[in-house]
Amino acid sequence: MGVNTYCLRALRWTDAQLLDYCASLKLDAVFLQDSQDPKAMDPAHWAEVREHAGRLGLHLETGGGGILPRKAELFDQSVATLRRNIERAKAMGSPFVRAVIASDRASLPPGPVEQHMETVVKLLRAVRSQVMDTGLKIIIEVHKDLLAWELRQVVETAGKEFVGVYMDTGNPVFVLEHPMTTLETLAPHICSLHLRDSVLYEHPRGVAVQWVPLGEGVVDFKAIMDRAAALCPNVYVYIKPITGRPPQVIPYLEPGFWKMYPEMRAGDLARFLALAKTGRPYEGHVVIEDLPGKLQEPFLAAVQYQQREHLERSVEYGKKVLGLGQRWRG
């Protein structure tokens, strides 16, 4: 078991501080995501991080961000960025290179989703030889953009020998999909599993979603982990609570919403809506952050405390309820 460092972004720690913190929690691994280290893209720093993780006995995974170019003329730039992220991941000792297609469905460029899937496949194939030569895999994060069967199609069309999946249980609900549906659909290609919980409940406009500490939402993580153990064993599991955001309404009852999902499958939607019927608004105390990059004192201190406390609460849930991890048992 490990943690995804994006959960601690408000602390603005260096990579070394993040690794030391993970070791202090007696974790087995760390997923270094969206590093804020001032030397993050310095090749000399990559070697330092690899050595530091090795000294601490931490398995390390990392990668980059969005890869889908918003315009055709930006395709070559996207390829160059992905190549750089492959170099960085290799130098840091990561077996994978994280990539995201888009932030959410609504943020996809103009055009049908099939067109964007084809662009992603073309982009991935452009770096295939480099990825294969390094012995790595590009893992595409389950985000708020594609349905599970669409992402599986991208992976299998591009080439499962060098492309896999970064499974995140917190994002499927934003495309009206039950996390178990996502897991079961993508299981043959899952290389890294990240756990995030959500409260999900009915709303006059559709459903509302809010991320919460692990074990405090509607997701049955015991069932998720039992299924994962059977379908995609031998992957590292990362705790990844991203809290401090307000509930977001997904207005699937409003006219025009379904233009984004012309091929939604009725069975998958029914399974999701059944989950929504079990939930209710979150009643725990929470500081609403929702100000990325603009946090000021003393508000910053409250968010920093909350991110650390929610992560540690979630790590304890992973250890004591889900039975994850090895080192802490020593």
Q: How do the domains of the chain map onto residue ranges? A: 2-329
The residue type of 304 is: Q
Cα–Cα distance, 170 to 199 (Å, whole number): 10
pLDDT computed for residue 104 by the predictor = 96
**Does the model's pTM come out above 0.85?**
yes
Percentage of the chain modeled with pLDDT above 90? 95
Tell me: the pLDDT tens digits for 217-249?
999 999 999 999 999 999 999 999 999 999 999
State the pLDDT confidence band at 330, using cuts at 50, 70 and 90. confident
Tell me: the pLDDT tens digits for 68-102?
999 999 999 999 999 999 999 999 999 999 999 99
pLDDT computed for residue 221 by the predictor = 98
Report, at the CATH architecture level, how domain 2-329 is classified: Alpha-Beta Barrel (3.20)
| Helix or strand holding residue 24 (H, E) | helix 15-24
pLDDT computed for residue 291 by the predictor = 61
Task: Flag whether pLDDT at 293 surpasses 60.
Answer: no
Percentage of the chain modeled with pLDDT above 70? 98
pLDDT computed for residue 298 by the predictor = 78
**105 burial class (0-12, 13-18, 19+ CB within 10 angstroms)?**
middle
The residue type of 174 is: F
Cα torsion at 188, 190, 191, 192 (round to 10°)? -160
Mean pLDDT over each residue of the chain, to the nearest integer: 96
State the pLDDT confidence band at 292, using cuts at 50, 70 and 90. low
State the pLDDT confidence band at 297, using cuts at 50, 70 and 90. confident
pLDDT computed for residue 290 by the predictor = 66
Tell me: the pLDDT tens digits for 133-170?
999 999 999 999 999 999 999 999 999 999 999 999 99
Cα–Cα distance, 25 to 8 (Å, whole number): 14
